[in-house]
A = this chain, B = another copy of it.
């Protein structure tokens, strides 16, 4: 295969293929050879030229997955026209409507049987997203009086764990009924923390997603 003048295209191609296969078959059941076979002529050497290991490919894939999500979080975090609580509300609204969700249905995501990928997402959520995006927002909320808690760090983690992992249909595939239950319990929990950020519009959209997801299996 001819050498590519823009090597980042090759890297992206590898990541595209790897992402798709990891989603379809799971990280562990996807071999390097599988990736090669879907690369259109590229070889094993090419892969190991751009990535040191299969693991590094996984990290790159998850990074790319969370990049747009993190970008959204970052943008909301830096806005000056919203108080802390309003920012949290906006995050839930946006995260449920972001196009990733639709793109993600073009492959058959199977995170139930994908320990490595799930693990990678879990770590990203708890070790990066929670402290770097949610925590600052909560701290702002404490400062502006819209959020009250003595333990902002733990609260940030709890919110991300429940919203991003527990309620994620890719990870725990819920029936519409279960999704509804989770949503209500989550809303109750947030209210317990003085956070009134759920409304009917959000609920409707979540129900749609749950149904869409059930169909696509």
Contacts and interface: CB of A to CB of B under 8 A. Distances in A.
A151 B181 contact: yes
B172 A154 contact: no
Nearest to A115: B119
A99 interface: no
Interface of A is mostly: helix
B155 A166 contact: no
A196 to B, nearest CB: 13
A191 interface: yes
Interface residues of A, number: 28
Contact of A166 (B115, B158, B192): B158
Interface stretch (A8-16, A39-47, A182-190): A182-190
A64 interface: no
Contact of A115 (B116, B151, B161, B191): B116
A122 B192 CA distance: 26
Contact of A158 (B116, B189, B191): B189
